Amino acid sequence: MQQVLIGIDRDGTLLKDTGRYPGSEGPSEVFELCEGAIDCVKLLNQIPNSAVAIISNQSGLAQGRLGIKDVERVNNTVKKLLELGRASIQGIYFCEHVSLDYARTKGISLSNSFVKECSDMKPNPGMLFRACKELLRTPPEKCNIYMIGDRSDDVLSGLSAGGKSVFVKSSVHQSDTLEIKKKMQIHYDKIHNAKDLIGAAEWIIMDVARSCAKEISAKDL
Ligand SMILES: [Mg+2]
Ligand SMILES: [Zn+2]
């Protein structure tokens, strides 16, 4: 039976997007999970041979809005909030870098240590690949990979990892919805546009069942 790795974006997908960088407002900052986050992860936890990992780009570091400690504090808080609802996350990965292009458009100095073309940074598949190896002890090409997120970079990272992606629209990033619709015309079998987080989990469960059925019928031949 195949191992299943599900990556979930953090900001705007699991954690409510406030339009600011989570963790940038000091210890009194209050965090709230997105609607359906707990139930989504609980559903995913039922998939046999699976691991669920948070996969997050943290561009706020390069912008000087927050530090690594703040990112880790928010990560731990999200994990705890999920655990209070009996939903469990097996790994948390974040990329601390921004691309040169991003730095240029945001006026970030290119000598800033967070500016780097990093293979971890979504839309690259680095973090998903690491999660397969570390959490499932399986090479990525032998894993069934899914990525859930609210931005086109999330969706693209799932595809670049050789997996499938579920887009869950957030109210903040309207332009991404248009981009995803265009991508869906080409990769219609690899991208699902879910109405909410629970819909995202239900689609993945169905898709895993479908690929297991295929695996079994292939063995019977
Ligand atoms: Mg996001
Ligand atoms: Zn990185």
- Give backbone dihedrals phi and psi of 54, rounded to 5 degrees, phi first: -80, 130
Ligand 2 centroid distance, CA of 99 (Å): 9
Ligand nearest to the CA of 167: 1
pTM: 0.94
What is the Cα–Cα distance from 132 to 146, expressed in whole angstroms?
11
Is pLDDT at 182 greater than 90 in this prediction?
no
Ligand number, closest to the Cα atom of 14 = 1
Which residues lie below 8 Å from residue 141, measured CB to CB, with a gap of 6+? 162
Q: Give the CATH superfamily of 3-220.
A: HAD superfamily/HAD-like (3.40.50.1000)
60 alpha carbon – ligand 2 mean position (Å): 13
Taking residue 172's Cβ as centre, other Cβ atoms within 10 Å add up to: 13
| Angular region, 162: left φ>0, alpha ψ -120 to 50, beta rest | left
Using left for φ > 0, alpha for ψ between -120 and 50, and beta otherwise, residue 135 falls in: alpha
Reduced to 3 states (helix: H, G, I; strand: E, B; else coil), residue 176 is: helix
- Ligand closest to the CA atom of residue 17: 1
47-77: string of b/e by CB count within 10 Å (b at 16+)?
beebbbbbbbbbbbbbbebbeeebbebbbeb
> Which ligand has the nearest atom to the CA of 8?
1
- For residues 90-104, average pLDDT: 97
Distance 95 CA to ligand 2 centre (A): 4
Rounded distance, CA 117 to CA 171, Å? 29
More confident residue, 217 or 167: 167
Structural domain boundaries of the chain? 3-220
- Residue 94 CB-density burial (10 A; 0-12 exposed, 13-18 middle, 19+ buried): buried
Q: How far does the centroid of ligand 2 lie from the alpha carbon of residue 199, in Å?
A: 30
Chain center to CA of 207: 18
Q: Find the 214 Cα to ligand 1 centroid distance in Å.
A: 32
- Confidence category of residue 221, pLDDT binned at 50, 70, 90: low
Task: Kindly give the distance from the C-alpha atom of residue 149 to the centroid of ligand 1, in angstroms, as a whole number.
Answer: 6
What is the per-residue pLDDT across 26-37, written as a single tens digit (0 to 9) for each?
A: 878 999 999 999
- Residue 130 confidence class, pLDDT cut points 50, 70, 90: very high
- Closest ligand to residue 13's CA: 1
With a cut of 90, say whether residue 175 has pLDDT above it: no
Distance 126 CA to ligand 2 centre (A): 9
